[in-house]
Amino acid sequence: MTERRATDQTAVSSAARRAVVVQHQESVHLGNFAPVLARHGYTIDLVDASGPAAEFAAGLSRARDAELVIVLGSTDGVYERDRLGYIAPELDFLRARLDAERPVLGVCFGAQAVAAALGSSVHPGPTVEVGYRIVEPTAAGADSPVRHVAGVPVAEWHGDTFDLPDGVTLLASSAEYPNEAFGIGEWMLAVQFHPELTSDMHEQWLAGDEAYVTAAGYSPAALRAERAQHSDAMQTASARLLDDYLTRIAAL
């Protein structure tokens, strides 16, 4: 990715842009991404993967000409296609969108879905990660929006991973997971971590995912202490990451 200046106070174009957001669960939403998208002049078109199949298909059809598609996280696994009817049409949609080289941003499950749409395997990882971790940008990542999280612990909440697809650029790795972020040119960005996670969302996830968290050996109290220590810095880095990405795709 090429260098471009980006700040939190980007001037927005007077022309409205549309971001289609594929959401899989009510509690896994745009979070701190929402105000950054608003500053860049985006309207949000939410497509609910958990709703009726016909409505989901109609939402994906509306997304074809959107300036941006964002695919959010989920507690589901991309490899559960036989159990979950929404996954196959979502991957078909992403495959077509990627083939057309239209902007896509994938977050956690969304990153895994992008990898699957590009032909890679998605599968359980070596460990369940919940909490804040350091993600190190690669040399290419240091010239990408991911550069903004360098040295800033970011939120992880997953147990799945993926093989790096052919034709992408690895942008970041962590101690446990080598494929933390990848991209294609300026227009596609996928991250395994959760830069969108706010403190309120973190508390919701702890409540809803308590059995998963404790079964993996994590203490909710310790995770709350991590959040108190690291969340503010991540919010700033997250806003800069998204601001940078939106600035780059606006120039395409």
Strands (E), the chain: 17-23, 42-48, 68-71, 104-107, 122-133, 136-137, 154-162, 169-173, 181-184, 188-191
The whole-angstrom separation of Cα 144 and Cα 49 is: 30
Q: Residues 6 or more apart from 176 whose CB is under 8 A from it?
A: 125, 126, 127, 129, 133
3 is catalytic: no
Q: Residues 6 or more apart from 51 whose CB is under 8 A from it?
A: none
- Identify the residue whose tokens are 């032909």: 119
40 is catalytic: no
Per annotation, catalytic residue among 24, 108, 158, 186: 108
Residue 47: CA count within 13 A, CB half-sphere: 28
194 is catalytic: yes
Per annotation, catalytic residue among 67, 129, 196, 202: 196
- Identify the residue whose tokens are 């800069």: 240
Per annotation, catalytic residue among 148, 158, 194, 202: 194
Task: State the catalytic residues.
Answer: 108, 194, 196
